[in-house]
Every structure is written in C-alpha cells, then in structure tokens.
Amino acid sequence: MSVHLLLSAGRGPQECAWAVAMLARRLEADAGRRGVTTRRVESVPGERPGTLLSVLVAIDGAVDGAVDGDHDPAAAETFAASWTGTLCWQAPSPYRTVGRKNWYVTAQPCQVDAERIGFAESDVEIVACRTGGPGGQHRNKASTAVRATHRPTGMVVVVDTERQFALNRRIALQLLRTRIEDRDTAAGRELVADRWKIHDELVRGNPTRVERP
C-alpha cells in the first residue's frame, strides 16, 4: 500500500509554488537513489509556468530482487518520514529582486483512499419477525416483517410495510445498501477535506529539511 505525501505552498508567495516544483523533483531524485518508487497522483499548477501550488506523491518502497509490483511498506514509510515537515528551498527568487532566499513548503502524509465498507448481501443477517400495529389478523399472526443486520457495521433496519416477507426483505436490503453507500461517500469527502486543511498548516522557519539548487 502506497504512502502518500502532499507538498503544498500553502498561502505563500509565488516563489513557494516554485519551491514545491523544485522540491518535488528533488524528492523524486532522492527516491531513485534510495530504491524507492514514486508517482505523482495529482497536482495543482501555480500562476507561473512550471510551478506547483501542490503535488500529491505516492511512495512505494521497492524490495531488491523482488518480483515486479512487490514493495516494502516500511521502506516507503521511512522515506516519507525523511521528507515530512517544513521543507525549505534555499535560493534567490527567480521572479523579483528580494533579499529573501528561504522559501518554505509543507510536506505532510495523508490518506487518499477512504476505507470503503461496501455492501454485500452475504454480510446481512435476515430475521423474520411478527409485524406490529394495526392490520388485522394476518398481520398479527404471520412473521412477514424483516429485521436486517449488517454484520460489519452493526447497522440495523426493520421493515414491515408490506404483507409479504419477500417484499419486506427486498426493501430492507435496499435500505442497508443505500445507507452504507452514503457512509462510504461521506468518508471520502472527509478525506478530501482533511487534505485541504494541510494547505493551511505550513509553519515557516525551523525547517526539518533544507535543499538547495
């Protein structure tokens, strides 16, 4: 499983977007030297050509002599940790004459894929039960209501709207499917929101890593 690292210029000046692009290249070069594979999952370009407001990098630690596609998660995590924190690209601005030459970028690990529960009918326990409330002799005697429990989440629905067990069962399964899909969608949205928060977490000064041209 890949480790994902987000490099962001935060709300810094255009030089910080330049620094993100330079540091992303440096990170990739460092990965190559250390036998670690990387790929850019997504990026947001800056205003200037060749600059990046942010870039999301997937990191996999390759195992020497292993078959293609086999990776060492610990190697990926170790490499990502060496690039995590406040990064500084130390170089004069290519866009204007300023005395400042330290341009700060944040690099933080983030989760990209939400843990999807997914719906499988085999995960649902169906129990027939008697209906309650008015409805005549048939509703009181027949066990046509359905109590459906989704085992992985403990989510439960009870359906007794129809007089036939099969119909109540179908409705119960559809209700569970919809609720679980909604839950998975919400989890994905939360991850995206968490990634956006990283853009505002840049701490300038006291960098964990300094790189130069």
- Give the domain CATH number at 15: 3.30.70
Q: What's the confidence (pLDDT) of residue 66?
A: 45
Supply the range of the domain harboring residue 177: 121-188
Residues 109, 205 within the same domain:
yes
Question: Along the 213 residues of the chain, how does pLDDT read in single tens digits?
Answer: 789 999 999 989 999 999 999 999 999 999 999 999 999 999 999 999 999 999 999 999 865 544 445 567 789 999 999 999 999 999 999 999 988 899 999 999 998 875 778 899 999 999 998 866 554 444 445 688 999 999 999 999 999 999 899 999 999 999 999 998 888 888 777 777 677 777 677 677 889 999 999
DSSP annotation of 139 reads H
Q: Strand locations in 69-170, DSSP E?
A: 85-90, 102-110, 124-129, 145-150, 155-159
Q: Transcribe 14-78 into DSSP letters.
A: HHHHHHHHHHHHHHHHHHHHTTEEEEEEEEEE-SSTT-EEEEEEEEEEBPTTPPTT-B-HHHHHH
Please tell me whether residues 63 and 146 are part of one structural domain: no
Residues 204, 102 share a domain? yes
Consecutive H or E run containing 173: helix 165-198
pLDDT of residue 142: 65
Burial class (CB in 10 A: 0-12, 13-18, 19+), 67: exposed
Q: Total domain count for the chain? A: 2
